[in-house]
Structure 1
Amino acid sequence: MKESESPSNPWATVTLGDLSEVKSGVGFPKKYQGQSSGDYPVYKVGDVSRAVTLGQGLLNSANHYVTTEEAGELKGVIFRTGSTLFAKIGEAVKLNRRAFVMRPGLADNNVMAVVPLLNESDRYLHYFLRTVDLSDISRSTTVPSVRKGEIEDLIIPLPPLAEQKVIADKLDTLLAQVENTKARLERIPQILKRFRQSVLAAAVSGRLTEEWREDSTYNDEGYPDSWTFKHLSEVGKLARGKSKHRPRNDPRLFGEEYPFIQTGEVANATGEITSATRFYSAFGLEQSRLFPAGTLCITIAANIADTAILGIDACFPDSVVGFTPKDSEALAYFVKFLIDVNKQDLESFAPATAQKNINLKVLNELRLPFPSLEEQTEIVRRVDQLFAHADRIEHQVNDALARVNNLTQSILAKAFRGELTEQWRKDNPELISGENGAEALLERIRSERAAQKPTRRRTKIAKTEQAAK
């Protein structure tokens, strides 16, 4: 233990093991599992994860409970309120999730706990642990794992107790604000999704261009009187993709010449497909078909009625249909809007089989409302404009989310450099010196540790119950 080098910051530098007990959970045989209530929760890695993702990091419930008698039989430590739990083995280590115990309980042997020696340091140590990247200290083996000694050896700055409380209080407030901001930002993409759906619904019902059309009369089906219903086969041509050769993974089919688009690429496209991840060779093209740029792709298997416009010439398999509109009848983008809005209805035509699919007949017989070509052009222009506005907002939101996600670690770093409490120290010198200083705190911690019995596993439930109080 040593004093901090900065005279304006009378902190000490110690190890986490100097301030806490680091303990692992206990084996949890199946015969004890499955109880949804009891005297003590038994915290597992999943409970820690749920606490972090759904409960603001506060751990007060679990999927498994045991009675006092069973806890004694398990011979596990009952971790008191204020302990910090985290995964010690497996891929969960990389998630860096730490939960603050609100209800005393046991933990299984995939979980490790840090139990501060002084209750007053609970929140301070918890926030410190949130600065630690467990991946950096885990053993580089096939299965990531964290050892007790690696946690105990972590270097931690130690301010006086009064300042620890101020730091923890400030972090409570600041990080809650960060989480609230993050939650609001994360809701915006769903709002934008509903906005885009509303725009499309207005577009294909005539509401979006009502003022432009200078006609607000609608028929009994809710469409403008000037619009007419037509089958897809009347306004263009549908053709199924081809991939005749078997096996379909024959290496001879693939090369670097002809883009080969599959259903997943249609589903994940944001309107237009401008690139491909796989390409057919000349041999592959012979057993397929090359569709021109501007073709509307419609998926008819697995993902039903996902759509995208080809921005490049490309081939695709028979799980995708290509629609080419007649120049005098329809625009590919307007037909795309119609299919997108009616996606749920089209999915209902798919039989309840392991892999849903619809056929060309279903698409050809679709009866859809069409305005004049001039109005279709205006509709596409307006939708593009509104979608571009939504895209700009979404891009700004994603940038803001990235900054907010970095903000937590930035605030924590400032806290443990003493920057959040710099003015507080100037205003309260009596609370950080003498008997209130870091050296006096270290002496108290030494005394507390010396007063404890030698490290002997406490197996009696009476002792673990007392530790939990």
Structure 2
Amino acid sequence: MSYEPLGAATFPASPENLPPGWRMTTLSDHTRHKSGNGKLIKGRLSNHPATGLFPAFSASGQDVWAANPENEGTAIIVSAVGARCGKAFFAEGRWSAIANTHIVWPGDTIDARYLWRVLNNENFWVKGGSAQPFVKTKATFERAFPLPPLSEQRRIVAQLEALEVRSRRARAKLAEVPAQLAQARLSLLATAFRGGLTADWRKANPEIQTLETTLQRVRFESSRTGRSASDEKIPGVAGLSVGDIGPPAPNGWLKLPLLSVARLESGHTPSREHPEYWGGDVPWISIPDARRAHGQTIESTASFTNALGLENSAARLLPAGTVCLSRTASVGYVTVMGKPMATSQDFANWLCSEALVPQFLMMAFLAEGEHLLSFGRGSTHTTIYYPELKALHISLPPVAEQHEIVRRLNGAFLRLNAAAAAHATAVANLDHLDQSLLARAFSGGLVPQHPNEGASISTSAKVAQSSPIKTQLYLIQFIPALLRAAQQPLALDRLNAIVALLFLPPGDLLPLIEKIGGAKARAHFTGFAHIHEDGAFLAAINALKRTKTLVHSTNRQGLITLSLGPKLPPISPEIDADARHLSALISSVPSERVAPSLARLQTAQVQEAVLSVV
């Protein structure tokens, strides 16, 4: 299989709580099993597929390939040894199972996919060993567990597989959220440092003190780092650049050398060979500290130095409000000192004058994001050297506007942080929902128990032909179910072919089903009374498009494909089972055998309905 199930099966707490029709039994009554081939060693097999090689399962799953497949068909491969022993994998087709695995074949009384979910529970297996755990197969295959009737197993699996599609879709959407939040953060910062965030504020506050007036009062010592500024010009993406390059500053702002409004200081590490230099009351910032406090005010550090360490090194005690930027190895972590501290040599430290708000400078560095790397050099480990640091220019608004930008950005960041927390909660809730669904499924609460569990005929298909309306209702559920089972967009002509298959009389349908899908597929459709109402297909397409259950796309070659839309119909386990059997035939339906009914379905009206815009 190409995906993981929702999780592991959990069963009723005691036999007395079994649903109607369920019974306590053992795996040995419903399966056969044996160990994987101990002569096939993972390290001696190919890690990549190639012509002439077939999938092979190790204790980690299907991660190697071997010649001469030893098995064919459907089975469950169990990790037999190691920390994750009891983990189960679904095998089908031609394959091998190698050392440290156990193979379990389902019998006629247990559905293979249901069995997979039963076995994919590491707590289900009786285990031995401590340093190297292993599964005790004999004890496990003799332990009692509850089993529903075969038809109910299949309904449970059909419902779970449909829910797994939704769960994977939800997880895929949730997986996009962190990147979207990060992009929103960078977009806000870029807008702020191009003047867009406070354009309205500038219009409403024309009388504020200009930056030029503030600069007349700025007096501070020049940088004590020795090398002169670089002549290079490297544009930034927001408010910073190396050299005076890039768009002009917004109205009322100035583009200035950063050294004209802040003093640059370096850091240092007192010798580790002198324990007396360490421990004390001087917080000392390292890269891990800056990583934890990135974009925030730093109040504590993991390491402390002392007066002796400062006296015997180039480390300096810097005042609160100093902006620290990591410039080596891990470039781009930025924080503001909340109290006097020292730093390692990995940091460029900026002591801001009254013309520059420290939090504004920190956010200016944040706004550049990964683009800060372009200010540095080095192929393996990028470093921003002091000549480039001394050449930094900044687009700077008046001090009052700097404070307003910081205030607005902090408010926006609070909202983004709340969204991130909501995302984390949604992920946790989805995990809980998956486990809750499994608990319901394997305690009899996910699908109803039917009194006639021995029936092998799809009851939903039986009623499909009784009237045009029922045919239409059947197709409205069948078409989305087929798309779910296919797990990919479906070409319109392929959909037409599958529906045309259902339009065949039983005498033609069953032999064709058996030829393509085997005896199991024929047994499933025995008793299926054929659909013959042509107009029901067009009506179903119209309804699915109108309710946005179905969406279409057309490629450059004019091929029309269909996908599930945002609105999904209720799930019917019986119809899902029909779709699952027929999805395997999507590329195998011989057009000449279904030509008469296919011609009635491939009409201009149907294509027009598919292409309609709701």
Q: TM-score, normalised by structure 2?
A: 0.59
Report SS of the residue matched to 1:28: coil
| TM-fit CA distance, 1:252 | 3.5
| 2:344 is the counterpart of 1:317 | yes
CA distance in 2, matches of 1:142, 1:7: 37
Amino acid at match of 2:262: G
Aligned in 2, Cα 1:413/1:380: closer, same or farther, shift over 3 Å? same
| TM-fit CA distance, 1:353 | 5.4
CA distance in 1, matches of 2:266, 2:421: 35
CA distance in 2, matches of 1:291, 1:16: 70
| TM-fit CA distance, 1:35 | 5.3
| 2:196 is the counterpart of 1:207 | yes
Other-structure match for 1:436: none
Match of 1:108 among 73, 95, 98: 98
Other-structure match for 1:16: 27
| 2:293 is the counterpart of 1:269 | yes
Higher helix share: 1
| TM-fit CA distance, 1:332 | 1.4
Report SS of the residue matched to 1:187: helix
Partner deviation per Cα, 1:288-331 (whole Å, 9 max, x = no partner): 3333332211001101122122234433211112212112x111
Which one is further off, 314-323 or 139-148? 139-148
Report SS of the residue matched to 1:5: helix
| TM-fit CA distance, 1:122 | 0.6
Higher Cα radius of gyration: 2
Other-structure match for 1:430: 452
CA distance in 2, matches of 1:252, 1:138: 53
Match of 2:423 among 397, 416, 419: 397
CA distance in 2, matches of 1:284, 1:98: 57
| TM-fit CA distance, 1:396 | 1.0
Match of 1:5 among 11, 16, 28: 16
Aligned in 2, Cα 1:35/1:180: closer, same or farther, shift over 3 Å? closer
Other-structure match for 1:88: 80
| 2:89 is the counterpart of 1:99 | yes
Other-structure match for 2:443: 417
CA distance in 1, matches of 2:327, 2:407: 28
Other-structure match for 2:36: 25
CA distance in 1, matches of 2:93, 2:305: 60
CA distance in 2, matches of 1:154, 1:204: 67
Amino acid at match of 2:328: A
Amino acid at match of 2:79: A
Aligned in 2, Cα 1:389/1:35: closer, same or farther, shift over 3 Å? closer
Aligned in 2, Cα 1:122/1:35: closer, same or farther, shift over 3 Å? closer
8 Å contact kept, 2:24–2:145: yes
Match of 1:384 among 410, 413, 421: 410
Alignment of 1:56-455 (within 5 A): 63-66=64-67, 68=68, 71=69, 77-78=70-71, 80-81=73-74, 83-91=75-83, 93=84, 98-118=88-108, 120-133=110-123, 138-149=127-138, 151-153=140-142, 155-214=144-203, 221=247, 223-247=249-273, 250-255=274-279, 257-272=281-296, 273-281=298-306, 283-286=308-311, 287=313, 288-327=315-354, 329-352=355-378, 354-421=380-447, 424-425=448-449, 428-431=450-453
Structure 2 unaligned blocks of 5 or more: 1-13, 205-244, 456-614
CA distance in 2, matches of 1:222, 1:138: 70
8 Å contact kept, 1:128–1:156: no
Paired-residue identity, %: 26
8 Å contact kept, 1:238–1:360: no
Aligned in 2, Cα 1:324/1:220: closer, same or farther, shift over 3 Å? closer
CA distance in 2, matches of 1:293, 1:140: 56
Amino acid at match of 1:115: W
| TM-fit CA distance, 1:341 | 2.9
Amino acid at match of 2:153: Q
Partner deviation per Cα, 1:361-404 (whole Å, 9 max, x = no partner): 32121112111111111111111111110100110110121121
Aligned length: 396
8 Å contact kept, 1:231–1:365: yes
Q: TM-score, normalised by structure 1?
A: 0.75
| TM-fit CA distance, 1:8 | 4.9
Report SS of the residue matched to 2:16: coil
CA distance in 1, matches of 2:18, 2:393: 81
| TM-fit CA distance, 1:161 | 0.8
| 2:30 is the counterpart of 1:40 | no
CA distance in 2, matches of 1:275, 1:387: 22
Amino acid at match of 1:430: N
8 Å contact kept, 1:131–1:412: no
CA distance in 2, matches of 1:138, 1:8: 29
Report SS of the residue matched to 2:161: helix
Which one is further off, 187-196 or 124-133? 124-133
| TM-fit CA distance, 1:189 | 1.1
Amino acid at match of 1:403: N
Other-structure match for 1:447: none
8 Å contact kept, 2:290–2:333: yes
Report SS of the residue matched to 2:301: coil
CA distance in 2, matches of 1:170, 1:293: 60
8 Å contact kept, 1:163–1:432: no
